[in-house]
Amino acid sequence: MLNRRICALIFSMLWVTGAPAEAERSLEYSWLTDGRITGQQRVEYRDDASQIAVHFSYADRGRGPDYRTEIKLSAEGFPVSFEAVGVNNTRARIKEVFANRSGTATWASDVENGSSDQADRSFYLPFNSAPEVVALLARALLADPDHRVDLLPDGQANIERITTATFSLGQQTREATLYRLAGVEAGPSYLWLDQNGDLFSLTRKHFVLMPKGWESSLDALKAVEGKARSAYYEQLAEEHTQRLTGLTAIRGARVFDSVNARLTPPSTVFIWNGMISAIYPGETDIPDDTRVIDAGGRTLIPGLWDMHNHVGAPYLLNYLAFGVTNVRDMGSVHKDLMPLIQDLDDDRIAGPDIHPMGFIDRKGLFAAPVGRLADTLDEALAHVDFYARHGYRGIKIYSAIRPDWITPIAAAAHARDLPVAGHIPAFVSARDAIDAGFNEITHANQFLLAFLGGGELDTRGPERFLVPGIQTGKLDINSPQVNDFLAFMREHNVAHDTTLAVIMEMFRNQPGEISPIFADIVDHLPVAMRRLAIMYEGYNQGHEPAFARSSDVLLKMMAKLHAEGIALLPGTDSYMPGMTLLRELLYYAEAGIPAAEVLQLGTIVPARHMGVDHRVGSIEVGKEAQMFLVDGNPLEDLHALYRVAQVFKGKNMYYAPDLLRSQGVRPFFDAAEASQ
């Protein structure tokens, strides 16, 4: 799902009071979720287009923003005033105002406020913004000779023209130009402006904004945009990939033995043709024609796994920069995901191996924005066949699936050797879901519902967050109820995909503060990313103490699950996923799990769970060279995992600090600094 801070920064819209002047020109847009219309944007231009009113809203499983915004522009196209009021993506009420008076600007919202006396020709980027605001910024950038402007509260944006295409609707045609925008998000974003300079489209993964009536142009538009995105990531891969030809030796590395949870003395590890060909304790003779990487006593760790995300190309280098070489995709659009996997397999782009899960939900108001939707059980079973035939690694069931569909869907999946994971559907208990064929419970909040009356709840919407957040703090994790259910999970060999970091972020949310995922590393983040890391009003609004208590109990529960022998599968379900995965592992350690066992949870445990431990998950002769070097000893301090030097993935090697710099992130390690 789209991360909630990105939703707040890029998509939110608010209600304002007052009687606006009559619109001189208006534009109507459809907000599409995986091709379905789920929202709208209406833009009204007044007073020679210097005053703009925007209403933006969409519905997403009981969530979604709904606000109106009033904006006044200077003659140069920069915001002079901005006011927005309404509800954000979690339906919490918010208000934001901005004013620039003769170069002195002030701004205030529910999560931040500030001022600047150097605001001339600076573009205020609202915390709560609509797609139209991105178009306003694009037009200001295009009017600048260098296509570059300063942002308020901080940062700088730039724009680059990519290509122009013509789209048709009956006898009508519209010419639109695709632009790449940098400085607003953690990575580049794309938008289309038509021949009049009006916004034509804005894409955010499975969310797309299109002019009302032009929705049929979506496939053609995405084809052009997809080609441009692919070219960009192919270029990055070419710049940052070092091909390992011939024999490679990693000398003087302490190897983390993920099978036995121990660290070896310094050793020499050889790579030949993308495989680990030999491991010698201590020093050994190295042939003259060998490429030698001097580890200098650093720690060599098997590649990490992210067992829960919805993968897009912007995530890939962030994964590699933190040693993540495998990710399980828990639900994406098939026609978007398959080309991405093919590009990775063909070495055209750089990133981890993707292991796709087939996502199934029921059509309706609460339907998920990804995967394949079903009206009937027969249609759902046909989706199982589709996924099996197209190489998916399992089936993910979502919240709106009818309870009586679970058993036949699971039976069909198991008949094709596909495990079943996912949300516990609404009005179904976790125990009944396992009896019906679940092999895995997804998300810590979904797991907690097993003890909080989940079988009686409509968990298609926010209740699946609210009930665990409010009630878990009162849960006795050593009660017979808990112990019996854990024994039941163990008996049925059921694993838990925790996505702990994003749930802890939700439980410990403090509006205006940096997310706990990034709080310790915020100084390393680019300006745009620091803004995205600011928390805003969430599900804990009005229940902050209860949610905080629940976060403490949740950590204790994770330790108990691990002690009981139930497999914990680390997952992110978030953007900047490499960083988020490390925070996930740090939370495991905070829960009391020893560092060596935490590393097992990030390496060999998911490899075994996915049935690929014969080729990855540990550093052993005959396995693929998927591993990374870190400066420090993570068994003594897991924060060493941030200090990645080189990453090895088959026949390719990457220098992690350079990967981070390409994302605007200040590296946590640099060879030159380490040698001083």
1 pLDDT exceeds 80?
no
Cα 396 vs. chain centroid, distance in angstroms? Answer: 18
675 pLDDT exceeds 60?
no
- Select, from the ranges 31-45, 367-381, 428-442, 521-535, the one with the highest average predicted confidence (pLDDT): 428-442
Nearby residues of 415 by Cβ (< 8 Å), 6 or more positions away:
none
Question: What tens digit of pLDDT does each residue of 506-536 get?
Answer: 999 998 899 999 999 999 998 888 888 888 8
Question: What tens digit of pLDDT does each residue of 221-275 get?
Answer: 999 999 999 999 999 999 999 999 999 999 999 999 999 999 999 999 999 999 9
3-class DSSP state of 435: helix
pLDDT at residue 22, rounded to an integer: 62
Comparing 323 with 368, the larger pLDDT belongs to 323
pLDDT at residue 339, rounded to an integer: 94
pLDDT at residue 90, rounded to an integer: 81
Helix or strand holding residue 225 (H, E): helix 218-240
pLDDT at residue 245, rounded to an integer: 93
**Are the C-beta atoms of 620 and 613 separated by less than 8 Å?**
no
Residues 201, 191: Cα–Cα separation, whole Å: 6
pLDDT at residue 520, rounded to an integer: 92
pLDDT at residue 2, rounded to an integer: 40
Residues 667, 676: Cα–Cα separation, whole Å: 16
The mean pLDDT value of the chain amounts to: 92
How confident is the model over 334-357, as a mean pLDDT? 95
Instruction: Tell me the pLDDT band of 145, cut-offs 50, 70 and 90.
Output: very high
Question: What tens digit of pLDDT does each residue of 61-92 get?
Answer: 878 899 999 999 999 899 999 999 998 888 88
Nearby residues of 531 by Cβ (< 8 Å), 6 or more positions away:
9, 125, 127, 153, 154, 155
Q: Taking the alpha carbons of 291, 292, 298, 299 in that order, is the dihedral positive or negative?
A: positive
Q: φ, ψ for residue 119 (rounded to 5)?
A: -95, 0
**Are the C-beta atoms of 427 and 457 separated by less than 8 Å?**
yes
Poorest-confidence range of 575-579, 587-591, 648-652? 575-579
**Are the C-beta atoms of 157 and 151 separated by less than 8 Å?**
yes
Residues 2, 39: Cα–Cα separation, whole Å: 15
pLDDT at residue 10, rounded to an integer: 38
Instruction: Tell me the pLDDT band of 672, cut-offs 50, 70 and 90.
Output: low
pLDDT at residue 537, rounded to an integer: 83
Residues 524, 15: Cα–Cα separation, whole Å: 35
Comparing 103 with 608, the larger pLDDT belongs to 608
452 pLDDT exceeds 90?
yes
Question: What tens digit of pLDDT does each residue of 264-296 get?
Answer: 999 999 999 999 999 999 889 999 999 999 999
Provide the whole-model pTM: 0.91
Quick one: tokens of 574?
A: 């978030």
pLDDT at residue 519, rounded to an integer: 94
674 pLDDT exceeds 80?
no
pLDDT at residue 93, rounded to an integer: 84
Strands (E) across 386-538 are located at: 395-397, 420-422, 440-442, 495-497
How confident is the model over 443-450, as a mean pLDDT? 97
Sorted by where each begins, the domain ranges of the chain are: 4-239, 358-391+394-408, 424-597
